[in-house]
């Protein structure tokens, strides 16, 4: 019998699908949490497999015993969630059960984790897709330390997402709920720095006013308007703002590198000392600014 029997014919011209693309950003994760999500998604997929196999008709010329073996094989093999755990050095661990998350041979540190119900079904259905399918990608990559990308207003690049394409709305909602509760529920407080326009907000409401204040203070101190070098004040402002913009961009890139989009506890990120350094830099800038305002304006 052809494996295409697993694929249901879509004879209804008003056939409806539900699609979604949910971003996974700002999450503080661990392998046990991801394993728990895998377990629940796997149980949901097995239940869906039971429904599909039960609805598949037995060919008239196939003995009952052979049909039972065939359907038992489909239940076991066609409705698994395949998992790929990738390391930064190119190493990949592959599995089709939740035990993969307990393996001692996982890449370290882990770059990304991907699992889907497409692979197992397709190999049993001549490459066809199941009526309800999804894939989940979680990436722990960091942005470059100094990002030359001109589109600084865009969110920090990260391909972590849940992609679902379903016929059954209850299956569709169940996937969303599991991912929301197990993956997307524990957020880091600093996730806003990776959002769209975070760079611009920081520039116009924090960095630019701060830089203008200090440039004005030093300009009046070094180049007073009644002094012999007053004609250099415009050049000082232009150069000062340019240098300030470069410094802000470098500091913002360093901040996003030290506090990445998603964090995996087992990776034991060594950026702690960089976070402490950044904390010291930002604190000194704030304290210095407050002291200067108090002295010069009040």
Q: Kindly tell me the number of DSSP H helices and DSSP E strands found in the chain.
A: 8, 8
Last residue in a domain, options 188, 223, 244: 188
Full-model pTM: 0.87
Instruction: Name residues whose C-beta falls within 8 Å of residue 97's C-beta, 6 or more positions apart in sequence.
Output: 80
**12 with 67, same domain?**
yes
Question: Which residue from 22, 36, 40, 45 is spatially nearest to 184, judged by alpha carbons?
Answer: 22
Give the up-direction half-sphere exposure of residue 249: CA atoms within 13 A in the CB hemisphere: 15
Instruction: Name residues whose C-beta falls within 8 Å of residue 48's C-beta, 6 or more positions apart in sequence.
Output: 79, 130, 132, 168, 171
**180 with 200, same domain?**
no
291: containing domain: 194-297
pLDDT at 230: 87
- Tokens of residue 170, six digits: 């209850």
**31 with 177, same domain?**
yes
Q: How many domains does the chain have?
A: 2
**218 with 174, same domain?**
no
Helix (H, G, I), strand (E, B) or coil at 287: helix
pLDDT at 10: 41
Q: Report the C-alpha gap between 257 and 164 in whole angstroms.
A: 30
Q: Report the C-alpha gap between 148 and 144 in whole angstroms.
A: 9
Last residue in a domain, options 169, 188, 207: 188
Helix (H, G, I), strand (E, B) or coil at 162: strand
pLDDT at 1: 39
Last residue in a domain, options 188, 211, 242: 188
**36 with 123, same domain?**
yes
**216 with 181, same domain?**
no
**106 with 143, same domain?**
yes
**122 with 67, same domain?**
yes
Scanning the structure block, which residue is given the tokens 């950026």?
271
Within the chain, what is the greatest distance between any pair of CA atoms? 105
**63 with 208, same domain?**
no
**105 with 250, same domain?**
no
**16 with 144, same domain?**
yes
pLDDT per residue of the chain (298 residues) written in tens, 0 to 9: 345 566 654 444 556 889 999 999 999 999 999 999 999 999 999 999 999 999 888 888 888 899 999 999 999 999 999 999 999 999 999 999 999 999 999 999 999 999 999 999 999 999 999 999 999 999 999 988 777 776 788 999 999 999 999 999 999 999 999 999 999 998 999 999 999 999 999 999 999 999 999 999 999 989 998 888 888 999 999 999 999 999 999 999 999 999 999 999 999 877 878 888 998 999 999 999 899 888 877 6
**215 with 292, same domain?**
yes
Asked whether 248 and 210 are in contact (CB, 8 A), the reply is no
Q: How many CB atoms lie within 10 A of CB 1?
A: 12
């Amino acid at each position: 019998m052809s494996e295409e029997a697993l694929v249901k014919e879509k004879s209804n011209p008003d056939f409806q699908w539900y699609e979604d693309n949910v971003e996974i950003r700002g999450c503080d994760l661990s392998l046990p949490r991801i394993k728990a999500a895998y377990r629940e998604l796997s149980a949901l997929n097995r239940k869906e497999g039971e429904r599909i196999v039960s609805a598949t008709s037995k060919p008239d010329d196939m003995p009952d015993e052979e049909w039972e073996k065939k359907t038992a094989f489909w239940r076991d093999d066609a409705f698994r969630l395949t998992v790929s755990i990738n390391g930064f050095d190119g190493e990949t661990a592959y599995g089709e059960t939740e035990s993969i998350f307990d393996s001692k041979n996982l890449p370290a540190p882990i770059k990304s984790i991907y699992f889907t119900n497409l692979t197992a079904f397709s190999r049993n259905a001549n490459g066809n897709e199941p009526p309800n399918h999804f894939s989940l990608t979680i990436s722990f990559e960091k942005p470059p330390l100094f990002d030359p990308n001109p589109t600084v207003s865009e969110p920090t690049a990260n391909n972590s997402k849940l992609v679902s394409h379903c016929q059954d709305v209850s299956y569709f909602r169940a996937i969303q709920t599991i991912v929301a509760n197990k993956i997307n529920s524990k957020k880091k407080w600093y996730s806003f720095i990776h959002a769209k326009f975070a760079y611009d907000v920081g520039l116009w409401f924090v960095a630019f006013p701060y830089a203008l204040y200090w440039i004005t203070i030093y300009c009046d101190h070094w180049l007073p308007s009644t002094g012999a070098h007053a004609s250099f004040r415009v050049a000082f402002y232009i150069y000062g703002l340019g240098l300030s913009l470069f410094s802000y961009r470098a500091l913002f890139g360093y901040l996003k590198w030290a506090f990445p989009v998603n964090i995996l506890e087992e990776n034991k990120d060594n950026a702690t000392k960089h976070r402490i350094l950044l904390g010291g830099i930002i604190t000194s800038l704030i304290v210095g600014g407050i002291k200067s305002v108090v002295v010069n304006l009040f």
